[in-house]
Amino acid sequence: MLRIYCFFLVAFLAFCLFVTETVYAQDEQEVNNDSIELVRARVIESKEEEGYNFLLTLEITGGSYDGQVIKLPYVQTHPDTRIEIRPGDEVLVQLAKNRENIKAHVSEYVRDQKLLYLALTFIFILILMGGKKGIKAVISLIISGGFIFFVMLPMIFKGHDPILTTILIAAVASIISLLIIGGKNVKSLAAIIGTTGGVVIAGTLAIVAGSAMQITGFSDEEMQSLLFIPQQINYDYRGILFSGMIIGALGAVMDVGMSVASAVEEIKLANPSLGVMALIRAGMNVGRDIMGTMANTLIFAYTGGAVPLMLSFLAYNTPLIKIINLDLIATEIVRALSGSIGLIIAVPITSLAAGILYGSISRGRISRGRFS
């Protein structure tokens, strides 16, 4: 079975690469016409100058200028944002070429290798603790991420309806992930029903509440930047905002759905004589314990991203009435509460589905993981 999952993963990645090449082919050509090249460079020498600035001697290690040595300043405006550049470090250099000359500047400190080490540590620990389940979780994570980054985002980028696209991608990604992790059985089916119901309710509530509050999403700098992209695509900006809310709630709702379905399965295995109503009550009892912690997870996750903003409100004594009515704050509140409501609703939906499905199975047909 694991070989089948690995084959499916390879096929899916190939599909993602095909979609990426098809969607971004024109855009890459446009970037090339602007004669902008982003290359890696290794720091040979770093001299600290007045203030928090450095004069870097760099060797370009990629692109059309591979091997060339250049000197560039690296300006830092505040001591708290200071990055100490040492010989041997890597930076990204942006080269802007025109007919007369080439302009270069240090774009960013290279962090991708450290991020890769962290990701590999996460995968190692997940597989070490989870065994085959851990491997399935890694495959599920890669597929879900592939759907988001290589299918959903390119489709929205091309101007497709963001809400409809997100709902379809979320449904497909959750179904595939739950089938890989839980297997082809009643537990996965119940989790899929609960997850789909919770995500649809969370998305619907976010759309209704956001529209009623006239939330635009343009208080976010990233959303504002879409107004100035060179492709000049007429985006549904509010739809993009709501699609982000749906994706933000998907992981937590999926977690709740699988947890409740697994608990009902274990209860049925321990006592096969239990009927539908007893299993539904058991699922609800487990779900009540889960929903409190998962709701806190969503609230804390969204609040954590707004800590600097809230500190600035305190610093300038901003009135509470103004804070609550700000577009940015209202957006985060709608995001957190709609996601929390979605995962809460997923509990009774999953409990009901699992209770009915497991209650209809005779005592001799149920075994752990699959059914005979």
Tens of pLDDT along 197-233?
A: 999 998 899 889 988 998 887 777 777 788 777 777 7
Tell the residue number behind the tokens 């700098």, with chain if given: 221
The whole-number pLDDT of residue 11 equals 56
The pair of structure tokens assigned to 279 is 């299993």
Same domain, 194 and 310: yes
* Each residue's pLDDT tens digit, 295-336: 787 778 777 777 888 888 889 988 989 988 988 888 888 888
Contact residues for 20 (Cβ-Cβ < 8 A; gap 6+): 150, 154
Same domain, 184 and 105: no
Is residue 130 in some structural domain? no
Same domain, 180 and 252: yes
Is residue 371 in some structural domain? no
Number of domains in the chain: 2
Q: Identify whether the C-beta of residue 65 lies closer than 8 Å to the C-beta of residue 103.
A: no
Same domain, 206 and 73: no
Greater confidence, 352 or 35?
352
Same domain, 352 and 232: yes
Residue 106 bridge partners (DSSP): 93
Same domain, 348 and 270: yes
Is residue 6 in some structural domain? no
The whole-number pLDDT of residue 29 equals 39
The whole-number pLDDT of residue 7 equals 52
| Percent above pLDDT 90 for the chain | 27
**Last residue of a domain, which of 110, 132, 150?**
110
The whole-number pLDDT of residue 86 equals 87
Q: Is the pLDDT of residue 18 over 90?
A: no
User: Which residue segment(s) compose the domain that 290 sits in?
Assistant: 159-359
The whole-number pLDDT of residue 59 equals 92
Is residue 149 in some structural domain? no
Report residue 260's pLDDT band, with 50, 70 and 90 as the boundaries.
Answer: very high
DSSP 89-112: -EEEEEEEE-SS-EEEEEEEE--H
Q: What is the mean pLDDT of the chain?
A: 82
The pair of structure tokens assigned to 284 is 């609800």
Same domain, 163 and 83: no
Is residue 2 in some structural domain? no
Q: Is the pLDDT of residue 2 over 60?
A: no
Q: Is the pLDDT of residue 111 over 80?
A: yes
Report residue 32's pLDDT band, with 50, 70 and 90 as the boundaries.
Answer: very low
Same domain, 106 and 183: no
Is 0.85 topped by the overall pTM? Answer: no
Is residue 366 in some structural domain? no
Is residue 346 in some structural domain? yes
Same domain, 202 and 322: yes
List the CATH number of the domain containing 102: 2.40.50
Same domain, 93 and 202: no
Q: Is the pLDDT of residue 280 over 90?
A: yes
The amino acid that residue 19 corresponds to is V
Is residue 307 in some structural domain? yes
Listed in sequence order, the DSSP H helices in 153-273 are 153-157, 162-182, 186-212, 221-225, 237-270
* Terminal Cα-to-Cα distance of the chain (whole angstroms): 17
Q: Is the pLDDT of residue 363 over 60?
A: no
Mean local confidence (pLDDT), 350-364: 82
The whole-number pLDDT of residue 27 equals 42
Between 75-79, 249-253, 264-268, the lowest mean confidence (pLDDT) is in: 75-79
Torsion-angle region of 110 (φ positive above 0: left; ψ -120 to 50: alpha; else: beta):
beta
Mean local confidence (pLDDT), 146-163: 90
The whole-number pLDDT of residue 121 equals 96
List the CATH number of the domain containing 172: 1.20.1640
Using DSSP, state whether 341 is helix, strand or coil.
helix
184 CB neighbour count, 10 Å cutoff: 13
Same domain, 199 and 283: yes
* Each residue's pLDDT tens digit, 36-80: 888 999 999 988 877 668 888 999 998 888 888 999 888 877 777
Report residue 353's pLDDT band, with 50, 70 and 90 as the boundaries.
Answer: very high
Same domain, 68 and 194: no
Report residue 364's pLDDT band, with 50, 70 and 90 as the boundaries.
Answer: very low
